[in-house]
């Protein structure tokens, strides 16, 4: 009996998805939507666990998107249904939206107009409510940011309806509102990388995001032109302690910054790292703080070097930086896990130029930079390694740098 080949998530065909969704909206709500908008998931090339300490990261938008067909209402009620959720239409009066409310997936939808209002945006589309139908093509809970894709699709729809200019400045405003919705309404304590990537990336490039001042530099990333592909492996591992460990890492770096007398670890010059580590080493929990700070400071430096290589057309040279990032996340920051390490080790053994975990860790996804013609081989080897160790079959996708949130219909 032949074993099935590795399972790939294919890129979303925008026109093919938007039109049927508008049809389905009509069936669900009895009227046409005002429009259909979509926003992508993202994968971070490098710069992990530094977006909450003023660091740099280099995410790109995936060709996998979440769509929302939406029509404004005037009575202050949000009604929303998702093709991925069995709950049917969820109805939320906007007056009841706030910290931790509503619970469940509707928080990522109803939280957006709430956060836009909190941040000073105005317009009937924010206070009047809306009917919405969601169709997500970003795998959930894989570290590829289906949550930001959902928020950002809603945000770009509402932004357009309140006639916000959707240039990079307008999008930066939407991104920070989406982060607020995720932090406060959905109650997930995350940094701002996901929303910035989903809203501010463009086709053919990554963004160099400076989380210290929210500025973005577009960085061309012509993988296909360099004969390369970025293979994403969803390990399907999800470890229950991830949330708690995330909070502990944030607390570690905040404490380290305080001890070093800096606003955040971005302020630690890599040339002065040894002196900073020596100072932290004298603390009672110094050994741990030293490793956390070493990760953050060296990771931010690796992002700079990766961006430099990409900006000078040397994408084929970033592999060792990806490898060093993974090793640092595994050993110093301690956020990897068996499935991520297995993916990275297997990809490297099968010729990947570099490989690393991506996203928060403790499960989720890893990336491997591979020669385009070796994608299937590397994916097959990772799938075989998982099967051999009795792990659930991983899933794969290739990340072509894609367009940020936009209108489809």
Shortest distance, CB of residue 143 to ligand ADP, whole angstroms? 5
Handedness of CA 43, 48, 53, 54 (dihedral sign): negative
147, 198, 211, 398: residue in contact with ligand ADP (rule CB under 6 A): 147
With respect to ligand ADP, which residue has the nearer C-beta, 174 or 381? 174
54, 136, 361, 404: residue in contact with ligand ADP (rule CB under 6 A): 136
With respect to ligand ADP, which residue has the nearer C-beta, 6 or 359? 359
SS3 224: helix
Shortest distance, CB of residue 175 to ligand ADP, whole angstroms? 15
Under the binding rule (CB under 6 A), the answer on residue 108 touching ligand ADP is yes
With respect to ligand ADP, which residue has the nearer C-beta, 319 or 361? 361
Under the binding rule (CB under 6 A), the answer on residue 181 touching ligand ADP is no
Which partner from the list ligand ADP, Mg ion, none does 82 bind, CB cut-off 5 to 8 Å by kind? ligand ADP
With respect to ligand ADP, which residue has the nearer C-beta, 242 or 385? 242
Shortest distance, CB of residue 104 to ligand ADP, whole angstroms? 6
CA 268, 195, 235: angle at the middle one, nearest 5? 85
With respect to ligand ADP, which residue has the nearer C-beta, 178 or 276? 178
323 catalytic? Reply is: no
Q: Which of 51, 135, 194, 252 is catalytic?
A: 194
Under the binding rule (CB under 6 A), the answer on residue 85 touching ligand ADP is yes
Q: Please tell me the distance from the alpha carbon of residue 222 to that of residue 230, in angstroms, as a whole number.
A: 11
Shortest distance, CB of residue 111 to ligand ADP, whole angstroms? 11
Q: Are 122 and 132 in contact (CB under 8 A)?
A: no
With respect to ligand ADP, which residue has the nearer C-beta, 112 or 315? 112
DSSP string, 89-126: -EEEEGGG-BTTBS-STTHHHHHHHHHHHHTT---HHH
Size of the site for ligand ADP (CB under 6 A): 18
The strand pair at 77-82 and 129-136 is best described as parallel
Under the binding rule (CB under 6 A), the answer on residue 218 touching ligand ADP is no
Q: Residue number with the shortest CB distance to ligand ADP?
A: 136
145, 176, 179, 343: residue in contact with ligand ADP (rule CB under 6 A): 145
Under the binding rule (CB under 6 A), the answer on residue 59 touching ligand ADP is no
Q: Please tell me the distance from the alpha carbon of residue 393 to that of residue 386, in angstroms, as a whole number.
A: 6
Under the binding rule (CB under 6 A), the answer on residue 143 touching ligand ADP is yes
The strand pair at 395-398 and 363-371 is best described as unpaired
Straight-line distance from the first to the last Cα atom of the chain, in angstroms, rounded to the nearest whole number = 45
**Helix 242-260 vs helix 286-311: angle between axes, to the nearest 10 degrees?**
90
SS3 395: strand
Under the binding rule (CB under 6 A), the answer on residue 17 touching ligand ADP is no
With respect to ligand ADP, which residue has the nearer C-beta, 142 or 264? 142
Report the Cα 89 to chain-centroid distance in Å.
Answer: 27
Q: Please tell me the distance from the alpha carbon of residue 246 to that of residue 50, in angstroms, as a whole number.
A: 12
Q: Please tell me the distance from the alpha carbon of residue 352 to that of residue 326, in angstroms, as a whole number.
A: 14
Q: Please tell me the distance from the alpha carbon of residue 98 to that of residue 123, in angstroms, as a whole number.
A: 19
Structure tokens at 24: 């389905």
Shortest distance, CB of residue 328 to ligand ADP, whole angstroms? 22
Under the binding rule (CB under 6 A), the answer on residue 101 touching ligand ADP is no
84, 101, 183, 298: residue in contact with ligand ADP (rule CB under 6 A): 84
Shortest distance, CB of residue 235 to ligand ADP, whole angstroms? 12
Under the binding rule (CB under 6 A), the answer on residue 228 touching ligand ADP is no
Choices 119-127, 135-143, 163-171, 271-279 (CB under 6 A): range interacting with ligand ADP: 135-143
With respect to Mg ion, which residue has the nearer C-beta, 17 or 145? 145
Report the Cα 159 to chain-centroid distance in Å.
Answer: 21
3-class SS letters over 78-95: EEEEECCCCCCCEEEEHH
Q: Please tell me the distance from the alpha carbon of residue 193 to that of residue 48, in angstroms, as a whole number.
A: 10
Q: What is the DSSP letter of 406?
A: E
Query: Across the chain, how many H-helices and E-strands are there?
Result: 12, 14
Report the Cα 331 to chain-centroid distance in Å.
Answer: 23
Which partner from the list Mg ion, ligand ADP, none does 100 bind, CB cut-off 5 to 8 Å by kind? none
Under the binding rule (CB under 6 A), the answer on residue 66 touching ligand ADP is yes
Shortest distance, CB of residue 56 to ligand ADP, whole angstroms? 21
Q: What is the binding site for ligand ADP (CB under 6 A)?
A: 66, 82, 84-85, 105, 108, 134, 136, 140-147, 150, 188
| Residues carrying an active site annotation | 194
């Amino acid at each position: 009996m032949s074993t099935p080949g590795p399972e790939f998530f294919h890129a979303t065909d925008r026109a093919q998805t938007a039109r049927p969704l508008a049809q389905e909206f009509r069936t669900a709500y009895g009227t046409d939507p005002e429009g259909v908008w979509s926003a992508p998931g993202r994968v971070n090339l490098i710069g992990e666990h530094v977006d909450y300490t003023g660091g740099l990261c280099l995410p790109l938008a995936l060709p996998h998107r979440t769509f929302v067909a939406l029509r404004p209402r005037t009575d202050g009620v949000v009604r929303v249904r998702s093709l991925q959720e069995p709950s049917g239409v969820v109805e939320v009066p906007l007056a009841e939206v706030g910290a931790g409310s509503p619970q469940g997936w509707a928080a990522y939808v109803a939280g957006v107009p709430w956060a836009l209002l909190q941040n000073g945006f105005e317009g009937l589309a924010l206070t009047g409510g809306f009917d919405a139908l969601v169709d997500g093509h970003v795998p959930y809970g894989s570290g590829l940011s289906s949550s930001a894709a959902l928020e950002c699709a809603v945000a770009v729809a509402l932004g357009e309806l309140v006639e916000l200019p959707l240039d990079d400045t307008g999008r930066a405003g939407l991104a920070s509102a989406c982060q607020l919705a995720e932090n406060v309404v959905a109650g997930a304590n995350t940094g701002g990388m996901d929303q910035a990537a989903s809203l501010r990336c463009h086709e053919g490039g990554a963004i160099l995001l400076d989380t210290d001042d929210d500025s973005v530099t577009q960085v061309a990333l012509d993988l296909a032109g360099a004969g390369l592909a970025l293979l994403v492996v969803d390990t399907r591992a999800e470890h229950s302690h991830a949330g708690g460990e995330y909070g502990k890492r944030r607390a570690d770096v905040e404490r380290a910054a305080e001890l070093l007398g800096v606003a955040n670890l971005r302020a630690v010059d890599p040339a002065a790292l040894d002196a900073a580590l020596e100072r932290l080493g004298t603390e009672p929990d110094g050994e741990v703080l030293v490793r956390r700070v070493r990760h953050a400071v060296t990771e931010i430096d690796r992002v700079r070097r990766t961006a430099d290589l990409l900006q000078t057309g040397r994408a084929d040279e970033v592999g060792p930086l990806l490898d060093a990032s993974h090793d640092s996340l595994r050993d110093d920051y301690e956020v990897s896990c068996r499935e991520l390490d297995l993916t990275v080790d297997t990809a490297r053994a099968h010729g990947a130029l570099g490989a690393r975990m991506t996203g928060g860790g403790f499960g989720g996804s890893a990336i491997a930079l591979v020669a385009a013609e070796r994608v299937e081989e590397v994916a097959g080897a990772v799938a075989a390694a998982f099967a051999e160790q009795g792990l659930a079959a991983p899933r794969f996708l290739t990340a072509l740098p894609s367009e940020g949130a936009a209108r489809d219909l």
